[in-house]
C-alpha cells in the first residue's frame, strides 16, 4: 500500500469521525434546545422566548336556598367574550379571512374608499387610509359575530370604533349561552381564540329564582362578584368564593409548553346558605297582599309570617303601590327610588321603617298590666269605661273609643276591653301603673331594641319610645296604652306577639337556619335556649284567651275569622303621619296581627296596609283582616298542620301556589 493510499484511508477515517461528532453535537443541541423549551430552568425563564400566563379558574359562590332546599340564588358557569381590537386589526382579520378561504384585502383596495379628503390633508393620506382600514376590519368582525352568535352588529361596531386604538381588552358580551360558545368554537376550527385577537373566558353568572318579593331579601351581587345588597352582602364572608389560578408557559401562538411546579392554586367554592323563608308561603303572602292593595287602592303593604316556637321567619313581604298625584292630593308613603331601578336594591320596610300601630299594641300593655295585678289586686273601675269621653288632666285632647258607632254594651270583665278595643278601658288599665312600670312593660316585649334577625344589621330600626325623663302619664302612658306615641316594626310586633304563644317567652327571630356542625346536622336546635321571658305564663295564657274572643266576638269576627283554624288576634287603625308634620285625620294605617292554632300556635301573621282609600274602607279588621286569615290558612296548610275546628275542610283541601 502506497503512502498516498494510507493517507487517503486516514483522511476518510477522520472525516467519518468528524461527521459523526458533528451529527452527535447537532442531536445533543436539538435535544437540549427541546428540553429547555419544554422545561426551562428558573434562571432561563425570562430568556426562553415563552410567555408566562396566569389563568383564573372560576369557583362557585355559595348558593342561597329556602328552608326546603328550593334554590333562590346560584352561580351558573358561562363564558365572556372579549377582543383585543389592535391585535385583531393587525393580525386577526387576516387570519379570519384565511380561515374563511377568502383572499386578504390589500391596503390599496380600501385606502381610498370613504376617506374625507379634507381630513386626509391634515392627518395625511396614509394615516387616514390606515384608520379607515382598521374601521372596516372591525366592522367585518362585528358582522361576522352577528352571523355566528347574534350580537347586534351596529352596537358591536360602535363599541369597537369608540374604543381607543391602544386599548388591548374590550368586553363584547359578558354572558354567552352554550350554543354561542359552540358556534365560536366551530368557527375557530381548533385554533386558539387568541390567534384572532379574541378571548373566551370562563366565568360564573349569578342567577336568581323565587317570588319577586324575595329579591330585596336575597339582594344582588356586583359585577366583581362581591355582595352588593341584601343577604348577598350581609353573608359575603360565607358565600364568597376564591378563584383558582393556573400559571403556564406558552408560545406566541398560545400553545402551553410547561406548567411550573407549585404554581397551581385550586381556590375554594363558597358555602351555601339556607333561609328560614318558605318560598311557597312567601309567594302566597305576596299574591294575597297585592290583591288587597289593588282592592283598597292602598299606598303599600307589609306582611310577615313567623314560627313562634323558634322565631323562624317564614315570609317577609313589602310592596309599594305608587299612585298618581293631583294638586289636591299627595302621596304620603315614603318613596323608594332604588326599588324602581332594581327590586334587589329596595329598602325593606319590614326592617328599616317604623310606624305607630294603634290598637294592635293594646294586648302588650294589657298583658303587662294583668301581670302587675290590675284586675285582681288592683280592681278596675268598669263603670267608668265606655260611658263617655275621658278627660285626663294635663292632656290637650280627650280619650274616646274609636269608630263611628263604638260599643255601648255591658263591661263584664277586663277582657271586654280587648275584645271591644276600648280606648277608655285601656286608660283605666294603666291608671294605677307608674310611668316606669309602663315603659318597663314595653322594653320587656322587646320594643325599642332591634330584633337582630340576621338581615339589616345596623340599618334595622329599633323603634322609638319616649325617654323616661320626658315621659308623662297624660301624654305618654295614656297614648301608648292604645298604640300611640310609640313606633314599631313589623318584625318587633311579630316577635312580641309570639310571647302569647309560648307561655310568655319570646323567641330570637332568625332568617338563616342554623349551620350544620363538622359531624353533620345539629341534633339540638338552639332556639329554645334563646327564649326571653316577657311576661308570666298566667298573664300570657289569659291574654291569648282574650284575643281568641276578639276573633269570635270582637273586631275580627266578621272579616278575619277562619273556618279551618282557631285564630286569636287583634286589629288596629292608626292615623297616618303627615310628612309635613302631625297626622292626617282621614288617612290611616290599617293592621292586624294573629296567631293559630290556638292550643299549639305554629304561625304568627302580621299585616300592615298603608293609606287605604277611605272611601272604600280603612278599618284594620276590614282591610288587613282578610289577608291575615288567608295567609294563616294557606301557611298552616303548606306546613302540614291539620285543621282544628269542627267541620273544617280536611287535608284534601289544597292551597294553589303558582
For residues 636-643, give the mean pLDDT: 96
Residues 6+ apart with CB under 8 A from 175: 78, 79, 80, 205
Count the Cβ atoms, other than its own, within 10 Å of residue 153: 17
More confident residue, 32 or 171: 171
Q: What angle do CA 502, 508, 513 make, to 5 degrees?
A: 110
Radius of gyration of the chain (CA): 38
pLDDT per residue over 504-513, tens digit each? Answer: 999 999 999 8
pTM score of the predicted model: 0.81
At 482, list the grid cell: 292604645
> Is a pLDDT exceeding 60 seen at residue 658?
no
Contact 379, 370 (CB under 8 A): no
* Greater pLDDT, 447 or 163: 447
Q: In this predicted structure, what is the pLDDT of residue 525?
A: 62
21, burial (CB in 10 Å: exposed 0-12, middle 13-18, buried 19+): exposed
The grid cell for 365 is 300593655
In this prediction, residues 123-148 reach a mean pLDDT of 74
Give 81-135 pLDDT, tens digit per residue: 888 887 787 777 777 766 665 444 433 333 333 444 444 444 455 556 666 677 7
Residues 6+ apart with CB under 8 A from 170: 82, 83, 84, 85, 159, 160, 163
Do you know the residue count of the chain? 658
Please say whether the beta carbons of 220 and 229 come within 8 A.
Answer: yes
Cβ(201)–Cβ(192) below 8 Å: no
Report the alpha-carbon angle 288-624-638, nearest 5. Answer: 40
Q: pLDDT tens-digit profile of 246-279?
A: 887 766 555 677 778 877 788 888 899 999 999 9
Q: How far apart are CA 268 and CA 414, in angstroms?
A: 62
Structural domains of the chain in order of their starting residue, each with its CATH number: 79-206 (no CATH), 279-511+527-638 (3.40.710.10)
Mean pLDDT of the chain: 84
Q: Which of 170-184, 186-200, 313-327, 373-387 has the highest mean pLDDT?
A: 313-327
pLDDT at 612: 96
DSSP 8-state secondary structure symbol assigned to residue 590? E
First to last CA, the chain: 110
Longest CA–CA separation in the chain, Å:
156
Residue 246, SS3 per DSSP: strand
Other C-beta atoms closer than 10 Å to the C-beta of 627 total 24
In 3D space, the residue among 451, 444, 235 whose CA is nearest the CA of residue 350 turns out to be 451
Q: What is the pLDDT of residues 23-52, one digit of tens each?
A: 888 888 877 777 666 565 655 545 555 677
Cα 375 vs. chain centroid, distance in angstroms?
A: 47
3-state DSSP call for residue 572?
Answer: strand
- Residue 232 is predicted with a pLDDT of 93
Considering only residues 247 and 595, tell me which one the structure prediction assigns the higher pLDDT: 595
* Strand (E) or helix (H) holding 596: strand 583-596
C-alpha cell at 480: 301608648
pLDDT digits (tens, 9 = 90+) for 534-592: 999 999 999 999 999 999 998 899 999 999 999 999 999 999 998 888 889 899 999 99
Burial of 95 (0-12, 13-18, 19+ CB in 10 A): middle
Q: Is 412 exposed, middle or buried (0-12, 13-18, 19+ CB in 10 A)?
A: exposed
The grid coordinates listed for 312 are 323562624
Amino acid at each position: 500500500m502506497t503512502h498516498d493510499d494510507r493517507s487517503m484511508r486516514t483522511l476518510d477515517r477522520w472525516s467519518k469521525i468528524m461527521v459523526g461528532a458533528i451529527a452527535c453535537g447537532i442531536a445533543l443541541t436539538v435535544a437540549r434546545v427541546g428540553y429547555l423549551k419544554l422545561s426551562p430552568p428558573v434562571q432561563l425563564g425570562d430568556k426562553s422566548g415563552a410567555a408566562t400566563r396566569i389563568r383564573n379558574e372560576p369557583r362557585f359562590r355559595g348558593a342561597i336556598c329556602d328552608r326546603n332546599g328550593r334554590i333562590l340564588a346560584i352561580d351558573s358557569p358561562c363564558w365572556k367574550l372579549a377582543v383585543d381590537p389592535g391585535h385583531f386589526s393587525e393580525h386577526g382579520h387576516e387570519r379570519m379571512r384565511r380561515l374563511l378561504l377568502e383572499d386578504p384585502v390589500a391596503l390599496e383596495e380600501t385606502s381610498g374608499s370613504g376617506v374625507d379628503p379634507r381630513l386626509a390633508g391634515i392627518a395625511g393620506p396614509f394615516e387616514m387610509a390606515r384608520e379607515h382600514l382598521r374601521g372596516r376590519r372591525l366592522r367585518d368582525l362585528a358582522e361576522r359575530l352577528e352571523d355566528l352568535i347574534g350580537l347586534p352588529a351596529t352596537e358591536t361596531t360602535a363599541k369597537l370604533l369608540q374604543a381607543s386604538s391602544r386599548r388591548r381588552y374590550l368586553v363584547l358580551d359578558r354572558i354567552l349561552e352554550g350554543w354561542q360558545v359552540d358556534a365560536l368554537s366551530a368557527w375557530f376550527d381548533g385554533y386558539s381564540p387568541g390567534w384572532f385577537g379574541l378571548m373566551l373566558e370562563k366565568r360564573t353568572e349569578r342567577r336568581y329564582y323565587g317570588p319577586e318579593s324575595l329579591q330585596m331579601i336575597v339582594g344582588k351581587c356586583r359585577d366583581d362578584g362581591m355582595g352588593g345588597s341584601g343577604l348577598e352582602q350581609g353573608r359575603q364572608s360565607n358565600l364568597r368564593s376564591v378563584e383558582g389560578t393556573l400559571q403556564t408557559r406558552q408560545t406566541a401562538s398560545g400553545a402551553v409548553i410547561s406548567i411550573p411546579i407549585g404554581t397551581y392554586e385550586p381556590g375554594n367554592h363558597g358555602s351555601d346558605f339556607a333561609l328560614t323563608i318558605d318560598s311557597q308561603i312567601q309567594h302566597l303572602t305576596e299574591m294575597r297582599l297585592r290583591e288587597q292593595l289593588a282592592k283598597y287602592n292602598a299606598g303599600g303593604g307589609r306582611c310577615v309570617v313567623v314560627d313562634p316556637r323558634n322565631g323562624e321567619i317564614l315570609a317577609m313581604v313589602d310592596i309599594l303601590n305608587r299612585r298618581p298625584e293631583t294638586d289636591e292630593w299627595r302621596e304620603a308613603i315614603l318613596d323608594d327610588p332604588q326599588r324602581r331601578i332594581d327590586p334587589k336594591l329596595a329598602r325593606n320596610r319590614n326592617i328599616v321603617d317604623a310606624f305607630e300601630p294603634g290598637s294592635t299594641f293594646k294586648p302588650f300593655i294589657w298583658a303587662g298590666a294583668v301581670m302587675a295585678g290590675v284586675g285582681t289586686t288592683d280592681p278596675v273601675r268598669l263603670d267608668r269605661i265606655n260611658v263617655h269621653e275621658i278627660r285626663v288632666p294635663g292632656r290637650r285632647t280627650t280619650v274616646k273609643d274609636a269608630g263611628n258607632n263604638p260599643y255601648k254594651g255591658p263591661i263584664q270583665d277586663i277582657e271586654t276591653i280587648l275584645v271591644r278595643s276600648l280606648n277608655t278601658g285601656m286608660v283605666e288599665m294603666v291608671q294605677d301603673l307608674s310611668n316606669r312600670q309602663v315603659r318597663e312593660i314595653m322594653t320587656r316585649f322587646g320594643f325599642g331594641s332591634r330584633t337582630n334577625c340576621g338581615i339589616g344589621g345596623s340599618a334595622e330600626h329599633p323603634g322609638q319610645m319616649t325617654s323616661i325623663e320626658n315621659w308623662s302619664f297624660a301624654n305618654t302612658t295614656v297614648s301608648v296604652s292604645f298604640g300611640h306615641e310609640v313606633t314599631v316594626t313589623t318584625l318587633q310586633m311579630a316577635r312580641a306577639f309570639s310571647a302569647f304563644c309560648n307561655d310568655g317567652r319570646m323567641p330570637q327571630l332568625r332568617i338563616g337556619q342554623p349551620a350544620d356542625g363538622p359531624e353533620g346536622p345539629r341534633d339540638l336546635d338552639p332556639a329554645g335556649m334563646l327564649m326571653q321571658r316577657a311576661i308570666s305564663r298566667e298573664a300570657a295564657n289569659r291574654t291569648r284567651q282574650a284575643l281568641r274572643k276578639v276573633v269570635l266576638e270582637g273586631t275580627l269576627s266578621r272579616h278575619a275569622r277562619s273556618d279551618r283554624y282557631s285564630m286569636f288576634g287583634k286589629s288596629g287603625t292608626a292615623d297616618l303621619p303627615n310628612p309635613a308634620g302631625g297626622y292626617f285625620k282621614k288617612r290611616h294605617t290599617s293592621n292586624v296581627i294573629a296567631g293559630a292554632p290556638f292550643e299549639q300556635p305554629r304561625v304568627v301573621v302580621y299585616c300592615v296596609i298603608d293609606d287605604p282609600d277611605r272611601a272604600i274602607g280603612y278599618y284594620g279588621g276590614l282591610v288587613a283582616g282578610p289577608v291575615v286569615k288567608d295567609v294563616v290558612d294557606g301557611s298552616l296548610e303548606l306546613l302540614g298542620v291539620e285543621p282544628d275546628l269542627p267541620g273544617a275542610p280536611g287535608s284534601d283541601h289544597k292551597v294553589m301556589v303558582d
